[in-house]
């Protein structure tokens, strides 16, 4: 339940201020590891650390390409510490589904379908040419449609907790 409270707080700050602050993300991972260590000793703490590493490792390329912010990255790392590697993959799956639905709604609402399809083609072309995408395709572009990833993560966590919750945290 603590993971859900953390995710909801991150989702709220991301929706309200378009940021997930360090004061929220930095303590979350150590708290999760300590709670797991108290509940299940080293085996649980190890799973928590593996989840942290998986979350940070999976999303690092997207942060380096400027398609995901640092707060979102730290959020997923902390969620990995709460859930462990196996459950984190399910949470990320739910989060990405919610994120995709939010993006589709925003794209349709802002009537940017063809521009989005063109930009996706440019991203794929850059990938296959082994080049970084153009600056107008990153989160630094003020005209880009930006989906609050923290909100999607909060919904993803709530879906996971609602359907799969078995543990104390």
Region 45-72: what's the mean pLDDT?
Answer: 94
Residue 61, pLDDT > 70, answer yes
Residue closest to 77 by CA, chosen among 12, 158, 146, 6: 6
Interval 96-112: pLDDT, tens: 999 999 999 999 999 99
CB of 6 closer than 8 Å to CB of 24: yes
Q: What sign for the dihedral angle of Cα 65, 24, 90, 32?
A: positive
Query: Residue 24 — very low, low, confident or very high, per pLDDT cuts 50/70/90?
Result: very high
Q: Residue 150 has what pLDDT? A: 96
Q: Residue 166 has what pLDDT? A: 64
The domains of the chain are located at 2-110+145-164
Residue closest to 52 by CA, chosen among 4, 3, 17: 3
Interval 77-93: pLDDT, tens: 999 999 999 999 999 99
Say what the pTM is: 0.85
């Amino acid at each position: 339940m603590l993971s859900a409270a953390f995710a909801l707080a991150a989702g709220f700050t991301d929706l309200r201020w378009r940021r997930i602050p360090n004061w929220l993300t930095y303590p979350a991972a150590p708290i999760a590891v300590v709670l797991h260590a108290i509940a299940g000793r080293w085996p649980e703490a190890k799973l928590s650390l593996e989840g942290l590493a998986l979350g940070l490792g999976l999303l690092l390329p997207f942060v380096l390409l400027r398609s995901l912010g640092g707060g979102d990255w730290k959020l997923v790392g902390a969620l990995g510490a709460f859930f462990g590697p196996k459950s984190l993959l399910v949470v990320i799956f739910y989060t990405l589904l919610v994120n995709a639905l939010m993006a589709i709604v925003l794209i349709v609402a802002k009537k940017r379908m063809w521009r989005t399809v063109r930009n996706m083609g440019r991203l794929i072309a850059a990938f296959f040419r082994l080049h970084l995408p153009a600056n107008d395709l990153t989160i630094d572009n003020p005209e880009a449609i930006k989906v609050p990833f923290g909100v999607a993560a909060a919904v993803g966590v709530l879906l996971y907790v609602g359907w799969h919750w078995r543990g104390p945290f």
